[in-house]
Chain A
Amino acid sequence: MSILAQQSAATGELRSRLNLLTLAAGAVAALVAPFVIYPVFLMNVLCFALFASAFNLLIGFVGLLSFGHAAFFGAAAYVTAHAAKVWGLPTELAILTGALAAAALGLIVGFLAIRRQGIYFSMITLALAQMFYFICLEVPFTHGEDGIQGVPRGTFLGFVNLDNNLAFYFVVLAIVAAGHFAIWRIVHSPFGNILKAIRDNEPRAISLGYNSDSYKLRAFVLSAGLAGLAGGTNAIVFQLATLTGVQWQSSGEVILMTLLGGIGTLAGPPIGAAITIGLQTYLAAVDFPVTVLIGLIFVVCVLLFRRGVAGEILAYMRKRG
């Protein structure tokens, strides 16, 4: 964990200066982008940015490596799609229902996994996610291999017509920004300070009277809910919820994005998501074996930039003072 040591060693002032800079750059880019780049692609990037950030809340700030986070993303996609298409809920309520369902699933998975330490925790999350995958394969409401198709985009809050990609983009941007604000708030809250303490030295946190399992479980539920917010939004964007969302490869992808961008940094996961989704989309178009190249890039990154993109930048800035 010397990576984290170096990062947190950056002075608070530098951090906040850098955060502001990143935030400003990100905001400008996000506002200009849809006029230059295809909005549906961007919405996909935004959803995965939130997904990766929600995952990073656990690995980066609680020290829990969940290997089954796709279950929450995918579950929310199904519930949102079903709520919008079958129940006819307004879009925002459908997404909210999906996020809450993911949080509830997170409560179950977390409850079963949180008592385990280290790799055992990861293995249980993976096992439970796989179990959930098979449930999704079997139950009728997910429509098996076909998935839930033709989900209506509807209108947002009753007045934004989401069939307009540009308008929808700004709605997604607002949702994802709100999700990131929530994560930032959690990390920099009284609760967040205890989470970081547990990450750093769990026995010590317990000896100070904190029931660490209960803190970890709450963080897990929050992370699952936020992953669900991303998954539900994504389902509306593509008007589709399929098994792809809940399969283990998606859990692996989100780990990759977070590692690539920088674990334990707030800007890292969105950067990692943009790189990964960008590569996938570009390589799919040129008909190249995507997984091979992404795997290769991943290996190079892990060998050369172990802190991830954001982590390396932070370390560089710090060295320059």
Chain B
Amino acid sequence: MANVIETQALTKQFKGFVAVSNVDLKIAEGSIHGLIGPNGAGKTTCFNLLTKFLEPSGGRIFHRGEDITGLKPAAIARRGVVRSFQISAVFPHLTVRDNLRAALQRQNGLAHQFWLSDGSLAVLDERARELIADVNLSEFQDTPAGELAYGRKRALEIATTLALDPEVLLLDEPMAGIGREELPRIIDLVRQVAKGRTVVMVEHNLSVVANLCDRVTVLQRGEILAEGSYAEVSADERVRTAYMGSEHAH
């Protein structure tokens, strides 16, 4: 299986503090890849580097074998490598529909026209409606996104991300702040979304990781501690002591 995303010796220092150190990631095409590790391990920083929201201090990033280390974040998104954020990211003063429109506009060449009426964006609404329905937000189309409950904001964020039809999805703790009863629905959604795509997800809930991920990379203090299937890494002695603790060793 080819690797969609690959990094070589990816490193990030913050004023001498090494947050990500010599990380060689290999994300296989079509997989759901878990990125786990204790708080402060460097997971979000990894995402920020992969999407160029942060400039690496060293190392290279490849997308389909092409070096993308020098690209700008917007350009990486346009290549189909799209991220979500640890803290839910929606456009709070735009309605749910306008959030979706914003996501759909660029591919449809409707982003620069300051002389056209926004009525011209109505051509996007059919697709927007489908995506909104997919995440069960149909009744909130005209609601400003800022007024949605947290779980629904999460759902909206996933819908806007899907609107880009990304090739690679980087999800930073998509389940965080989701109520226990909503969890199965979101897990289901991620599984559906992963069809025909590659997903990398940061997740603290290990049963979710066990449930969803084909491969898992464990980070600790910026370094890769272990890699493999969930069964493999959870059996790894160092991982158990470093991260999971004995209570997780089932």
B73 beta carbon closer than 8 Å to chain A: yes
Q: If the complex has contacts A5-B144, A188-B118, A209-B164, are A204 and B91 also in contact, measured as CB distance less than 8 A?
A: yes
Interchain CB contact (< 8 A) of A185 among B72, B84, B103, B117: B117
B89 beta carbon closer than 8 Å to chain A: yes
Q: A193–B105 contact, CB under 8 A? A: yes
The 6 closest A-B pairs by CB, nearest first: A191-B114, A209-B77, A204-B89, A200-B91, A8-B93, A211-B74
In the complex, how many angstroms separate the beta carbon of B152 from the nearest chain A beta carbon?
16
Residues of B within 8 A of A208 (CB): 77, 82, 102-103, 106, 160, 164
Q: B118–A189 contact, CB under 8 A? A: yes
Interchain CB contact (< 8 A) of A207 among B73, B105, B114, B120: B73
Interchain CB contact (< 8 A) of B102 among A1, A12, A194: A194
Residues of A within 8 A of B78 (CB): 209
Q: How many residues of A contact B (CB 8 A)?
A: 33
In the complex, how many angstroms separate the beta carbon of B100 from the nearest chain A beta carbon?
11
Residues of B within 8 A of A (CB): 51, 53, 72-75, 77-78, 82-85, 89-94, 98-99, 101-103, 105-106, 110-118, 120-121, 142, 144, 146-147, 160, 164
Q: B92–A5 contact, CB under 8 A? A: yes
Q: If the complex has contacts A200-B91, A207-B82, A211-B72, are A193 and B114 also in contact, measured as CB distance less than 8 A?
A: no
In the complex, how many angstroms separate the beta carbon of A16 from the nearest chain B beta carbon?
13
Q: A12–B142 contact, CB under 8 A? A: yes
Residues of B within 8 A of A191 (CB): 111-114
Q: Report the nearest B residue to A7, measured CB to CB.
A: B93
Q: Report the nearest B residue to A4, measured CB to CB.
A: B93
Q: A189–B85 contact, CB under 8 A? A: no
A201 to B92, CA, bound (A): 8
Interchain CB contact (< 8 A) of B74 among A4, A185, A199, A210: A210
Known A5-B146, A208-B106; 5 more pairs at CB < 8 Å? A1-B93, A5-B144, A208-B77, A208-B160, A209-B106
Residues of B within 8 A of A212 (CB): 74
Q: A207–B113 contact, CB under 8 A? A: no
Q: Report the nearest A residue to B124, measured CB to CB.
A: A190
Q: If the complex has contacts A200-B94, A204-B90, A207-B51, are A189 and B160 also in contact, measured as CB distance less than 8 A?
A: no
Q: If the complex has contacts A190-B105, A190-B121, A193-B102, are A210 and B111 also in contact, measured as CB distance less than 8 A?
A: yes
